């Protein structure tokens, strides 16, 4: 019961924007961090340095969706909306 109330409080105190940010961060941690790293520039398996990417959002979306070289395909695991959120998320590495 105690745990339940804590969770409930946690969820209800979070603004929806914060929740959205948490969700995309979890996605990135689950699927991307092992190659691209926490700052986007880890470069495992030849992963592109996301801090230096010059691709458009549409090009990034298509690479995440379909994969390229050692970059896996995520179109079957993630929804279109999740991929769009990840594009926005990785764009933050450039700032
Ligand atoms: C197994 C390692 C691996 C994982 C996991 C991985 N990537 Fe990649 N990623 C790569 C490699 C390698 C490239 C370079 C592909 C190429 O151009 O040949 C790349 C390229 C990219 C690019 C293009 C950047 C550019 O400027 O060329 C984006 C964007 C990207 N990854 C995002 C992601 C996201 C988001 C995830 C998680 C959903 C992810 N990657 C997971 C290895 C990985």
Distance CA 21, CA 89 (A): 9
Residue 92 has pLDDT above 60, yes or no: yes
Residue 82 lies in a domain: yes
Q: How far is the CA of 76 from the centre of ligand 1 (A)?
A: 15
Residue 1 lies in a domain: no
Residues 28-79 pLDDT 10s? 999 999 999 999 999 999 999 999 999 999 999 999 999 999 999 999 999 9
Q: What is the dihedral of CA 62, 63, 66, 70, to 10 degrees?
A: 180
Residue 95 has pLDDT above 80, yes or no: yes
Residue 9 has pLDDT above 70, yes or no: no
Q: Ligand 1 pocket check: which of 29, 52, 63, 83 to mutate, most ligand atoms within 8 Å of Cβ?
A: 63
Q: How far is the CA of 92 from the centre of ligand 1 (A)?
A: 15
Residue 80 lies in a domain: yes
Residues 15-30 pLDDT 10s? 678 888 889 999 999 9
Number of domains in the chain: 1
Indicate which CATH number applies to the domain containing 58: 1.10.760.10
83 close to ligand 1 (CB < 6 Angstrom):
no
Query: The domain containing residue 41 runs over which residues?
Result: 20-94
The structure tokens 């700032």 sit at 95
């Amino acid at each position: 019961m105690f745990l339940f109330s804590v969770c409930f409080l946690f969820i209800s105190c979070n603004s929806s924007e914060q929740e959205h940010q948490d969700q995309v961060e979890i996605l990135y941690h689950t699927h991307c961090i092992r190659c691209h790293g926490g700052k986007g520039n880890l470069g495992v398996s030849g992963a592109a340095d996301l801090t230096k990417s010059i691709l458009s959002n549409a090009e990034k979306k298509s690479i995440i969706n379909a994969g390229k070289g050692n970059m896996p395909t995520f179109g079957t695991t993630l929804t279109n909306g999740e991929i769009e959120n990840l594009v926005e998320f990785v764009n933050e590495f450039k700032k």
